[in-house]
Structures are given as C-alpha cells and as structure tokens.
Structure 1
C-alpha cells in the first residue's frame, strides 16, 4: 500500500529510503530487501494517476525490454510489482551515481576513461534493433565509485526499431536530442549516435556543445547549419576528434553509421575485456617469441606490446584469483623482455638516424641545381627534427610520408650515377624511419586499461616498455 505523498511509498518485502532521482512520471528510491540478505536495490515508483496512454506504453516497453535483457553494461530489472497507487520496477542499485555527477565532480574526463562508456552496451542494443532514444549522462549509471562499471538505464523511451522502421514522435531530452528529432522530422536509430556524440563532447570538455539559457536558444543552436567547432583544449587524439566530428553531424545521412562507429579505431571494441582476450594475447606472444628468436627486435617488440593490449583486458575479464595471478606473472615476464628489446631497438635507431643525416648532407651538396630535390630534402630534415621533439612522432611521420612522396617521383626521373645512388639510400632510410615511427605511434596509442595496471603495479613499466625513444 502507498504511503503519504510526502514520503516514500511502502512496498511489501522492502524498506524504501532516500530518493535517488525523479523523471517525467517516476521517482527512484534506494531500498533494502527485508530478507536476510538485506540486498540494496533501486525501486522506480510510477504513480498510476500520472499515467496517460503514452506513458503506460512507455512503461510497458521498458518492462518488456529490460526483462529480456541480461548484459553487464545494462541495468538489471530484478522484478516488478504494483498496488492500487503505484507500479514498482525493482532494479539493481548502482552505488556510483550517474555519469553526469561523475563528469561534474572531475570537470573533464581523460580520453581513456571516456572511451569506456557504453562501448559494449550500445553494440548489444544495436544488434537487437533496440534504440534507447533518451541517451544522456543521467541515464548512464556507475556500479560503484571504486571500480566504476558503466550501465545504461531508463528505457522508458526505448523502442524496438528495425532498420526500415522510422518514427516521428518527439522523445528524449532536448540537450542530447538529435536535430532531426528537434525539427520533428522522421528519424531512426541514428539519433542515438548523435546523443553519444553530445555525451562524449561533455565528458571531454566539461559541458555539452549547445549549453543554452533557454529552450528556444537551444533549439536555435541545434537547428543551425553551423559546423560544430571542437575546443583546442584539452588536446585530443586525431582519432577522438575525427569520431566526435562524425557523430555530431546534423544530417543523419552524413552522420557516422553504426557499423563505422563500432569499427572506429578510437572506440576500439577489439580491446574490450572478453573471453577471447587471453587467447588473442597468447597467439601474439607466440609470434613475438618467434621473431625474438630470429633476431627481429623491432617486430618482436611490436608483437609483445600488441599482446599486452590483450593481456590487460584478459586481466579485467578473469574472475578466478589463481588464474589472474598467473596472467600477471606472464605480463611481468613479457614487460621485462620488452624493456630489453626497447634498449636494443633504441640504440640501432639512433645509429640509423645519424647515418641518414650525414648521407642527406652529402646529397644536399650534389643537389644545388635541383630546387625541387632540395625542397624535399628540407622536408626530410624537418621530419628528423620533429622526431627528436617530445611527442612529435605523428607530425614527424606526416612529414616523412610527404617527403617520401616527392623523393620517389624524383628518384624515378634521376639518371644513373652517384646522386641517384645517394637518393636511393635516402629513400630507403626515410622508409625505415617512417615504418619505425608508425610502430612507435601505434604503441604509444595502445589502450591498456591504465586504472587496472596501476592497481596491479604494472602501469609504468608497461607504458615505458612500449614507448620507443
């Protein structure tokens, strides 16, 4: 039976306590089961008198969807009950609050933390043709603050949507709503991708892209055709910027597709913890050991680091303490060998750099009558200088590739002789530098779950082993 209007309602088998939040037609309370377990749950209470036909349909949809879903990144609906006044959805309790509070207490989130949000949950929903239609930070809950595990919640607006099924009903929260919804045009599942872009923007920059003082101002900004500019600070990786711009595309036909979103290098679903993580790590280690035995230090180091990209998710996924310790022992062993290989590779890299610089100086002397060749050699020198700067690897790689494009054309037209030999050597050296830097950039951008590594005491050693100097 319901309690007084000013306090939480009463429900058989549970003690309802503090209010966690409220929405259009529901209030959520923290509650304890009266059974011996004293299990903590969240109970969503919907007052029957507040329900019209649309909200009844929303509620039934939410119950239907959540009852059929079992997924670690989606809030679990344990049960539902009703009495004369209310309908009750008994759900798992997420002690860490919601993503909105998490972002505001930290102001901005690092890329590695932001990446984790909803990766597998969105894919899970999309594979089942379920669109959430109300994605926002308040609907993404954290299982705890100690080891935050993100879970999608509040499926009151969710719809089963086939690829050919389009809607034109206004749903969701305006700040995170796709332009085609705000403009009340037909829309489809791609509205969730726009919302993901807005949430990601807010997580990385501390506020959503259309922060406004009124709904009319917000609506005007969303309807505008102006390209959404990304702030320069904090600096983001190229992949992250690319994904944000493709998500925040006003025209749904030009917006990134679900297929491209899940395949995007920044989303990096490949390295999410799964039952395959350990097998993939082991396969890469076998290749690394073979290259190591054959004396191919650069290839071996690259493969060891790729293996670590999968060993860390394997650690996340493993629940058996004994097997977890065995994986940790292996990781330490491979990190140790990667450190040794890194020293070998760095030494040969410095020698190659000096050799290339002296050969280039000689070629420059022989190219005084060739302004195009001199200009290409200047690009190569700029690349070498950029490579020696901290964090300049990607810029150096771009310059090397630009210089190589020019030099290969010039090499094809160069007649036989000493200058052609030197030019051929220069092209080979630049190709080796470019390949080396590609590996370096790839390893620097590897996504080992830093928070786990820090807890295991492996973080710094893994990061340093797989960062070439």
Structure 2
C-alpha cells in the first residue's frame, strides 16, 4: 500500500485499492467490480503523458491482440477504458504474484515442477506462434501465478535459482553474452538427460544453431502431448482398455507397450486432479497397472532374449562380411556393448545411449550400402536394435512414472498442478 496522501485514480464500475506494481509507463492496481459479483481484477493504468506516438501505437496493438485471444495460460484482457489522463486495461487478477518472486522465495525448484511450468508456458507460446505473435519480453517478472495455493508454471532458469548470464553490471552481462565460451550448466541439482539437452539447445548463442520453435514444441522434455489437462484421464483409460484387450489375447509385447503409454497419461491426470478421493482412486489404478506391466516385462524379456540369441548367427555373419568396413565393425561393437549393458540390468539409460549411438552410425552406413546380402543383414540388425531401444525407452519411462506417482504426496509443490498460472 502507498503512504499517506496517496490515492488511486477513479474508474467507472470499479473500486481501485492497493497498488500491485509500477513501471516506466504504467501502474497496476488491484480492483473490485461495483456489481453484485464484486469481481476481483487488476487494472493497468497507463499515463497518457508518458506516451509518444510510437508508444500509443504499441499500446493499441497490445489491446487489439489481447482482446482477440483467449488461452488458459495467457492473462485475459477483460475490457479497457480511458479518460483525460489515463488509459485503463482491466485484466484478469493473478493472486500468486509473478514467477520471479516465486523463484526467489524458494531459491530453486524441482525439475518436475519446472517441467509442468514449462509445459504451460510452451502451450501459451505455441498458441501465440500459431497466430504469428511474438511476446518480445519473456521473463519471470512477466509470468504471473493465478494463486499460491496451487502454484505452477516454469522457466528453465528457475532450476538453478539464477539466470544463465547472471552479472553484477551491464558491462559484465554484455561480455558474457558476447563471449564464445561454452555455457556450462551447474552440476547441482542433477538434471535428467532430456532437461539438460533442452537447456543446452536453448542457450546456443548462434541463432542459426539454436533450437527452432518447431523442435522446441516437439522436444521430449516439453512433451506437450502429456501436459496435465482434463483429457489426460480419458486418454489413459482408452489406452488401458486396449492394453487389457492385447493382454487377454496373449500379445504381451503390445500389451506392455500400451500399459506404458497409458502410464504416460496417468501421471498428468494425477497432477490435474484436485479431488483427494478421485486422486487416490487414480493412484490405486496406477499401482495395479504398474504391477501388471512388471509381470509382462518379465515375460517379454524372456522372449526377447530368445530372439536375440536366434539372431546371433546372422549378427556374426554380418561382422564377418564387414571386415573391410572398420566403421561398420566399430558400430556393431557399440551395439554389442549395449546388449551387454542391457543384460546386466544395472542402468537402462546407459544401454539406451549405446543403442542410439550405434544406430546413428549404422543408419548412415545403411544409406551408403549397395544392394546385396550384407545390406539385407544390416537392415535386419538395425530393426532389431531399434526394437531394443524403443523397449528400453518404455522401461525408463515406466520407472519414472512409477517413481513420480509414488512421490506425489512427498512434494507439496507437485501436489496439485492444475491450470493455475497465466502468461502476461
């Protein structure tokens, strides 16, 4: 609240109360509608004296854009008015304050909280991008939380509690931005492979090498397909129905894959659900499906080992025929290391990395391989390795899903991640 002698401007239909913040051109107030509903809004008061011709045009463009768009993660412009002194933008009120303050009070945020924030932000950006609109001032101070009881949205800086180019002066900031030094991510907190990959691709200085909007929206860490929503439970249930059907038919591999895909939607459904009893019912179902998936995994593993052994002769023949191709021999050796890692069962992530490394090289070699027996064997080997890699991806995802479902109640920040944040 302001000191003695301060008074907010008068606005038809609203009672302006406390000042929420101010900038060079505008001051934002909390306000109540005078109607029976007593709706709470935020009123952005822009002084006409502070505006030149370009500023007026920018403000009119902002009003035009905000009046035309509606999205759950973009703050809503409800109306606008003007008088001799000010232009008033009547906005949706966000009681949780801005993301910058939210990060400062918590210092750092868990990765799973960051991911849900990022999904909500990406959803808003994708909506704007599809309408050829750029925000141009995207920062934590311009991202609002609709409440503190259910806070969730997130930018990648927030993982470490500081921005990537934190500096004590503008001179130091400019030097860091212009530098060619590789940006090294802090080693703590430990991040998942997908999260670290996205951060590094976003922090690429060369805009031609930096991740594109299309690749950003499709990145596995952003994963908008599995963003918590009202449809998450419906999508999970539909996949479970298919999984049960395949299970009953004895197609255990297909059933396992469908159970894993269903679990990808069950965790967002848990995040979205706010009713405690329904949440517990969903968690109980998740536990059942994870248990069945584990049983199917044992059956599928046994079958896969038999298939891999059957392919040993063809694999040995391919190695024999590749004596004049050192790159092919090396790639096949990496594949053998991946299989050995998988057999150990210690770290599926390491095995998956080796499979992907091998496949990247083998696919290049296949493209250059002339028609013949060696090409046929190489093609068959690649299909086998792709199957193993996809299987491991599903197992890693299932472990993450089970861990996240079990830890839902242990982390207050992730307890209820409904659509509770809006992008200003």
2:396 — aligned with what?
Answer: 441
1:124 — aligned with what?
Answer: 127
2:248 — aligned with what?
Answer: 293
Ranked by relative contact order (alpha carbons within 8 Å, sequence separation 6 or more), the top structure is 2
2:287 to 315, 335, 348: 335
2:61 — aligned with what?
Answer: 61
- Structure 1 spans left out of the alignment, 5+ residues: 151-198, 361-371, 407-411, 414-426, 461-469
Sort the Cα spacing of 1:318 and 1:202 in 2 relative to 1 into closer, same or farther, 3 A: closer
| CA positional deviation for 1:310 | 2.2
Q: Secondary structure at the match of 2:200?
A: helix
| CA positional deviation for 1:217 | 1.7
Sort the Cα spacing of 1:448 and 1:43 in 2 relative to 1 into closer, same or farther, 3 A: farther
Q: How does 1:151-162 map to 2 (within 5 A)?
A: none
Sort the Cα spacing of 1:5 and 1:57 in 2 relative to 1 into closer, same or farther, 3 A: farther
1:141 — aligned with what?
Answer: 144
| CA positional deviation for 1:28 | 0.9
Sort the Cα spacing of 1:271 and 1:452 in 2 relative to 1 into closer, same or farther, 3 A: farther
| CA positional deviation for 1:434 | 5.7
User: TM-score, structure 2 length as denominator?
Assistant: 0.73
Q: Secondary structure at the match of 1:75?
A: coil
Q: Is 1:305–2:260 an aligned residue pair?
A: yes
| CA positional deviation for 1:211 | 0.9
Further displaced range: 250-259 or 90-99: 250-259
Distance across 1 between alignment mates of 2:390 and 2:10: 67
1:28-54 deviation digits (Å, cap 9, x = unpaired): 111222322222111111122122222
| CA positional deviation for 1:317 | 6.5
Over the residues paired in the alignment, what is the CA RMSD in angstroms?
A: 4.5
1:220 — aligned with what?
Answer: 175
Sort the Cα spacing of 1:377 and 1:65 in 2 relative to 1 into closer, same or farther, 3 A: closer
1:417 — aligned with what?
Answer: none
Distance across 2 between alignment mates of 1:270 and 1:59: 34
Sort the Cα spacing of 1:12 and 1:260 in 2 relative to 1 into closer, same or farther, 3 A: same
Q: Is 1:76–2:76 an aligned residue pair?
A: yes
1:420 — aligned with what?
Answer: none
1:7 — aligned with what?
Answer: 7
Distance across 1 between alignment mates of 2:251 and 2:222: 31
2:18 — aligned with what?
Answer: 18
1:221-251 deviation digits (Å, cap 9, x = unpaired): 2122222221222121222122112212222
2:213 — aligned with what?
Answer: 258
Distance across 2 between alignment mates of 1:44 and 1:293: 60
Contact 2:46 2:87 in 1 (8 A): yes
- Structure 2 spans left out of the alignment, 5+ residues: 313-325, 363-372, 375-381, 416-424
Distance across 1 between alignment mates of 2:62 and 2:199: 29
Further displaced range: 115-124 or 304-313: 304-313
Distance across 2 between alignment mates of 1:451 and 1:126: 36
Sort the Cα spacing of 1:402 and 1:121 in 2 relative to 1 into closer, same or farther, 3 A: closer
Contact 1:383 1:395 in 2 (8 A): no
Distance across 2 between alignment mates of 1:31 and 1:447: 45
Contact 1:205 1:234 in 2 (8 A): yes
| CA positional deviation for 1:378 | 11
